[in-house]
Amino acid sequence: MGRMGYLLMRTDPATSELIHSDLKDLGNAAKNLATHAVKLGGLGFGTSFLEWLASFAAIYLLVLDRTNWRTNMLTSLLVPYIFFSLPSVLFNFFRGEVGKWIAFIAVVLRLFFPRHFPDWLEMPGSLILLLVVAPSFFAHTLRNSWVCLLICLAIGCYLLQEHIRASGGFRNSFTRTHGISNTLGIIILLVYPVWALVLYIL
């Protein structure tokens, strides 16, 4: 009994130091975890903000093209861009009953009242139809993958180079009528997929 007590007394300071060291390591780990969580939260917020911004920029360009931009670019590519970049809240909202009713009304107007169906509503109507009828593979699996980011990046690159070519150069793309807003809108289309892809790789 005396020998065991002697052993406990000898190992007691070492055990205390080990416990203190372990607690210190746990504290550092918790601090690092909190720091990384804050950083990731900030990056996630940035991605979400850019996603909203890119979606509204694409919608703006789509409406502008149907009204007074009238470019020869393949702006119908904005429809799949919006489909892939639309925030989940809006995507699920328009994919539900609301979107079905809008699509139903658009189809009825297009079929039975074609003269009263304005041209500028064709692309938004196509977008709503795409949102409603898209299979789950496109609506959920593909939308949440890096493939959709690459598609959005390719669409943004194509539209930017076509816009610069149609404007007669990069400088002219900022000086023509609606040049600044159009060019900035297309650049925003590029920023979101690039940012999201960098975060995906990291």
pLDDT in tens, 128-164: 899 999 888 888 888 878 889 999 999 999 988 888 8
Model pLDDT, residue 29: 53
Angle at 9 between CA 7 and CA 14, to 5 degrees: 95
- Report the pLDDT averaged over residues 56-85: 79
Residue spans per domain, the chain: 54-201
pTM above 0.75, yes or no: no
Model pLDDT, residue 2: 47
Model pLDDT, residue 113: 83
Binned at pLDDT 50, 70 and 90, residue 3 comes out as very low
d(CA 40, CA 49): 14
Q: For residue range 24-61, list pLDDT tens digits in order.
A: 655 565 455 444 444 444 445 456 888 899 989 888 88
Burial 47-68 (b: 16+ CB within 10 A, else e): beebbbbbbbbbbebbebbbee
